Structures are given as structure tokens and as C-alpha cells.
Structure 1
């Protein structure tokens, strides 16, 4: 069999003793003292984690994620020496547009499962068959069922090149790409690499921060301080302030993974440590996740959905391997990537930052779609799958 063969993949069925061991580890957690504040400023709150652990060990169905994933068609193929896992669901409708959708951290393919139906079969979800997609959802290297790199160099640019290889290997010579979080960075880099056949991209975490603003934000992270660049509009100033706060107060997890990912042995040893680390994201998303465990889920971001993602990461032991992507990264998270292909931007209400249209137009010279939405957080596809699917239909309609 050729290394380039696309091979069917069966979702592993976890032996029952391994699931029992997971429950035992959760129940044996040694808890710290509670935080000394009433909010998230010292980190993931003890009340949230105790409720997560209680539910995970006693009520959550540990086979739920396996069943959800097992109902879908999975494949593996070797690209650049590494086995890449992906879901590939073809639309039942003619002339469907192929799209590759890339997840982020601390997400996985789990965060994208609920958009597959609305994208592949729009009429079943109240939309037009002419907007149907063939959907490819890969697991990034070191995440989920993809292989863990055993050599250096698997950063976002290399993944972007691998995704073009994957799409063409599947016979998709004309396709579009979409991403959020790391997926947005990888998708932007695909748009900068502009491989033949890539018709356009869509992002829900647009890389638009101009160089002078990026430089000022970086100085503030290093403690140099200083005012924002002059001449910013009201919308641009709002975004600068959101990012300045995030880099000052909210990006500690990224600094740790970007400098010393191997230090985090607790992610492989303690399921509760892993869960806490995965919940420790931007403040808006954390609040929605915390609310899910405290009985107030926002959209589809329920406690079962969250634990599906954490459980997959635990069972595949990818807490540390997924973190290494931060160490491998050499590009800015939110700055301009020099995309040349047609680009579409959706900015959800509770994203880390709202994208000013002025910056989007400068960052993406061929901006074909821009929309600001009144709800949705950093995990837009996960929390608001119907809204997210509608954005992709609208964004790519002109490229069909």
C-alpha cells in the first residue's frame, strides 16, 4: 500500500478498564484552596471545576464522544511522513463546494461536528441545496487521532501546505478553506500560499492587526507600555483595547505552551488538570463554558459538548502534544498574513476582539464578505452551529 493511500479509519473503542481508571483519577483529585476573588481573574474557579469533576465522573456518558464520532466517515492518509486523520462527509446534493475546516486549541474535531449536517445538507436545515458543501475536517498534527510529530517543524505554515495536499488527494481540485483560532491562522497562511485550486478562505478570527498596532501591543506585553498609535477610529480603538487587555491578562496559557510545553506533565497525569487547562481560555468563552456547568448553557456549548472534547484529548493523551503547536509557531496570532486569495470575514460578538471593517479591508485586498454578528464567542461553530453554517453559505456563495 502506498503511503499516499487514503485509508478508512475506525474510531477506537476504549476498553472499559481504561474508562474506570479515568473515573477513579477524577474522583481522586486533590483540590487546591479556592481562589481569593469572586471572578475569573485568578483562573478557573474551584466551584466550576468541582461541578465539572462531579458530572464527569458520575453522570457524563464516557462513550458518548466515541458514538458521535463513530457515526461519521473517518480516514487517515500520510502527508510529509505523518499520518493525518480527517472526517470526510460528502453532500447528497449536486455541485457541492468542497471545504476544509480547521479546528483550534483547546478544541478538536469535536467543536465542528454540529456544523456537518447544516453544511452538507442545507435543505434539511431550512437552507438552499445550491449552498451545499462537501466537508473535510482534519485533526491537526498532535491532536486527536492524527499522529504526534516526532520531528520539529510542524508549525502552521507546514500544516497549511499539508491541507492543500490532502484536498487534492481527495480529488478536490477546486475548494475553499475555513478556520477559527489556530484554524484561522492556518487558513490565512493557505490564503497567503495561494495554492492552485484554492478559491477563497473564510475566517472567524481574522488576522487584521496592522504592523504599527501589532508592534505597540507587543511592547505592552513586554511591559514597555505606551499609548496606542495615533489616528485610530472609534472601532479600531475598541479593538486595540480588547487586544491590549487580552495580551496583558488573558494570554498566559499561550505563553506557557509557547515556551515550555513539555513542562505540563499534569495534562497527561490528571484529567482534572487537563480539563482546567482546556477551560482556561479568553474570558468571554470561559464564562460561557462555566455557565454550562452551572446550569446555564449558551447556545450549543453544553457541558456534554465540552466534556466530549476533554475526554477525547485525555483518551488520546494529546494534552502536551497539542500544546507544542504554540512552541512551533513563528507567526503572530492576530496580525496580517498577506492573504491574496478572495477572503471572507465573520466577526462574532464575543470573540477575543471585534474586527474593524477598515482593518479587514486592508488585510484582505480581495475581501468578498464581511459580517458582524450579535452573538457567538471564540468557539463560534461549537456554540452557534446554525449561525456559523449560514455565514459559510453567504461567504462563499459568490465563489461557486
Structure 2
């Protein structure tokens, strides 16, 4: 596999175009004092857009990101962008971390050095990992699919080829959001290669078999299914649009940076453990760096395709199918609805379940040290 070093180099013309667009946002009329109840808070978004135009320094963020060891390669006629940080220890375990939506590879920025070089961060060098963080196809600097058919299951096959091409025959996998779906398929399809599977989210489309003589849902499991349905009814409009008519939405968000910021910021607010103040969980610089990657690469539309493709092939299992590698679950208090352990154990080989003290959907961004400790502990006996 040919691997090419990569650096982010956004042209000045793109920066000028962004600033010009931000200078002439056409704001809608809003009902006063709604806050975040009906979507993105007007006052917050106006402050965010003003900071994006007048305070945020993309070049500083770009330079910082370029300190990460980034590369690209070609797999199945597509360009895959990834970070590959070699571990500093006697026998680093390869570990592939997969981000989700509306995140990007920068979700893992803070946790990469904690995992690759634990000794420099108060840990044991024997817990070091060779950390691989790819960008999902159609996200950021990985090329977008040009034809239908690239969902989590297909991405898992690309990740298996990536790890094989990097020389790794045995490795750990970890993910949340779409990363949980990709990681689940990766472990299911390659049990002989995956040393362990760690998740901080269970794919929303996950369904264990119930038609092959399996026990019917317990009262606790039924309550979870009701909770998940209620959450989808109240909060899942974004997923329904992105999974059914993504192209219509993409035209607007790809043309308006303020619209893009509103669409993404609302999810970071709703899904993080912030106590009503987004900046307690995610800084404006981190939020805008992530949004800027979508903007400069024009990939908000292609990022939606994961929703469409997952509807065509959800994370459903049939009778007798199991995800065999040992599985660890980190349960965060502000995560989206998480199934009870019994529902997960119908398919996954759950060996560790940790109730985390704080954090939400963006675990690696919100609580990188706690998640790093959890991953070291889970993978320690699996090395």
C-alpha cells in the first residue's frame, strides 16, 4: 500500500470567500427568547458567526493539526486520509479509532498523544498504542463516494484493508456514533484480526435477532425501545432528513457557512455534557475547527450519505450471529439512549462495562483523559 504524507493547506482564496459570506449573512426572523428549545439558539449563533469572521484564526488551527502525523492512501479507488501516530513503548498495540457525525478526525486530536505516549501523560509505556485515526469516506479529506453503496459495513472492509496495508494483522478497534457502527462491522467481519472492540455508543440501528427462538424483550429492554422511539420522535428529525433526502439539505448547507454552523452546533449542544453551556464541553475554537473542515472541503453533503446507506443496511443480526471479539462499553451519562447490557449482550461479547462519571456523545473530545484510561484498562489483558 502506497502511503503519502499529508498536510492541510487551505488556500487564501477559500478563507477570503468564507469571510465575505460571513459578512453578509441574511438572518431569519426568530421568536424571542427561545434559547435552544426549537433548534440553534439565535444569540449563540450570531456570536459564533461573529467570532468565526473576526476572531477565529484558521491558520493557527491548521498549523496545530499539521503537527499530527497525517497521511493519505488509495484503497478501492478512493483516497483515505488518516492520522498514524506510532506508539512509544515496548510493544504498542495497534488501535483504530473511528469518529462519527457531525464530527471529524479532530474528535480524536486530544486523545491521540495520551494513547500513543502514555508515559508522557502519567501512564505506563506498556499501555502504548499505535494509533490510527482515519477520516470516514466523504468526511473532510477522505474522498467522497461517487456511487451509492458505501455504508458502515463497506467502510469496515476499507478499514480492514488499511490496517493490513499498514502491516497490522491484529489490532483493537474503538468508536462512537458512526464509528460504533463501523467498528462493530469491523469486529464482526474480522474476528481473527480484532483483539478487542470498545464502544462508547451502540449504533442506533442495532437490532439483535428475535425470531430464531431467542427470548422476547425483557421489561427493561422494552422500556429502552420505548425510550429510543420517543427520543427519535423528539430529536431525530435531522437523521430522517439526512437518511431520506440528504441532497436537498446539502445544497443549502454547502452554500451557507452560517447555516452549516447552525446545523452542526445544535448537535454539539444537544449531545454533549455541558449543563446548558456548550462552551463548558466544547470550546468555540474546537467547534469552529470542526465546522471549518466541513466547509473548506465541501463535504457536508457527502457526510450525510452514511445515514442513507445505513437505512439500506442497518446493524441488524440474524439468529446465531455474534460479534465475537471481547467488547468493552463506556456508558456516558449524557449519551444518546443506550441499551441495557442484556440487549447488547444478545450479540456482543461484553467483557467490560464502565459507567463513566461525566461526558456525552463526543467522548474523545469531552473527556479524553478518562476515555484514554478506560481504553488502556480494557485492552491491557488483550495485548
Query: Which stretch of the first structure deviates more once superposed, 29-38 or 127-136?
Result: 29-38
- Quote the residue 2:368 is aligned against: 385
> Given the alignment of the two structures, is residue 7 of structure 1 paired with residue 1 of structure 2, yes or no?
no
Question: Counterpart of 1:52 in 2: which secondary structure?
Answer: helix
User: Structure 2 CA distance, aligned partners of 1:204 and 1:323?
Assistant: 21
Scaled by the length of structure 2, the TM-score of the pair is 0.91
- Quote the residue 2:335 is aligned against: 351
User: Structure 2 CA distance, aligned partners of 1:161 and 1:232?
Assistant: 36
> Given the alignment of the two structures, is residue 97 of structure 1 paired with residue 97 of structure 2, yes or no?
no
User: Structure 2 CA distance, aligned partners of 1:67 and 1:281?
Assistant: 26
- Quote the residue 1:266 is aligned against: 252
User: Structure 2 CA distance, aligned partners of 1:44 and 1:104?
Assistant: 20
- Give the unaligned 5+ runs of structure 1: 213-228
- Structure 2 CA distance for partners of 1:92 and 1:47, relative to 1, 3 Å: same
Question: Counterpart of 1:326 in 2: which secondary structure?
Answer: helix
> Given the alignment of the two structures, is residue 178 of structure 1 paired with residue 165 of structure 2, yes or no?
no
- Structure 2 CA distance for partners of 1:238 and 1:307, relative to 1, 3 Å: farther
Name which of 306, 325, 343 aligns with 1:325: 306
- Quote the residue 2:274 is aligned against: 288
User: Structure 1 CA distance, aligned partners of 2:284 and 2:149?
Assistant: 35
User: Structure 2 CA distance, aligned partners of 1:354 and 1:334?
Assistant: 16
Question: Counterpart of 1:23 in 2: which secondary structure?
Answer: helix
TM-fit CA distance, 1:354: 3.5
Query: Which stretch of the first structure deviates more once superposed, 140-149 or 200-209?
Result: 200-209
User: Does the aligned pair in 2 maintain the 1:179–1:187 contact within 8 Å?
Assistant: yes
User: Structure 2 CA distance, aligned partners of 1:159 and 1:10?
Assistant: 23
User: Structure 2 CA distance, aligned partners of 1:305 and 1:268?
Assistant: 20
User: Does the aligned pair in 1 maintain the 2:272–2:334 contact within 8 Å?
Assistant: no
- Structure 2 CA distance for partners of 1:251 and 1:164, relative to 1, 3 Å: same
Question: Counterpart of 1:281 in 2: which secondary structure?
Answer: helix
> Given the alignment of the two structures, is residue 244 of structure 1 paired with residue 229 of structure 2, yes or no?
yes
Aligned runs of 1:1-400 on 2, under 5 Å? 4-12=1-9, 14-35=10-31, 38-207=34-203, 210=208, 231-233=218-220, 236=221, 239-264=224-249, 265-281=251-267, 284-285=270-271, 288=274, 291-292=277-278, 296-298=279-281, 301-329=282-310, 330-332=312-314, 338-364=322-348, 366-400=349-383
User: Structure 2 CA distance, aligned partners of 1:374 and 1:209?
Assistant: 27
- Structure 2 CA distance for partners of 1:282 and 1:139, relative to 1, 3 Å: closer
TM-fit CA distance, 1:340: 1.9
User: Does the aligned pair in 2 maintain the 1:176–1:201 contact within 8 Å?
Assistant: yes
User: Does the aligned pair in 1 maintain the 2:111–2:364 contact within 8 Å?
Assistant: yes
TM-fit CA distance, 1:53: 0.6
- Structure 2 CA distance for partners of 1:313 and 1:348, relative to 1, 3 Å: same
Structure 1's consecutive aligned runs of 4 or more residues displaced over 6 angstroms after TM superposition are 333-337
TM-fit CA distance, 1:289: 9.7
User: Structure 2 CA distance, aligned partners of 1:355 and 1:398?
Assistant: 26
User: Structure 2 CA distance, aligned partners of 1:262 and 1:126?
Assistant: 47
- Quote the residue 1:215 is aligned against: none
Scaled by the length of structure 1, the TM-score of the pair is 0.87
- Give the unaligned 5+ runs of structure 2: 211-215
User: Structure 2 CA distance, aligned partners of 1:288 and 1:237?
Assistant: 29
TM-fit CA distance, 1:190: 1.0
User: Does the aligned pair in 2 maintain the 1:250–1:281 contact within 8 Å?
Assistant: no
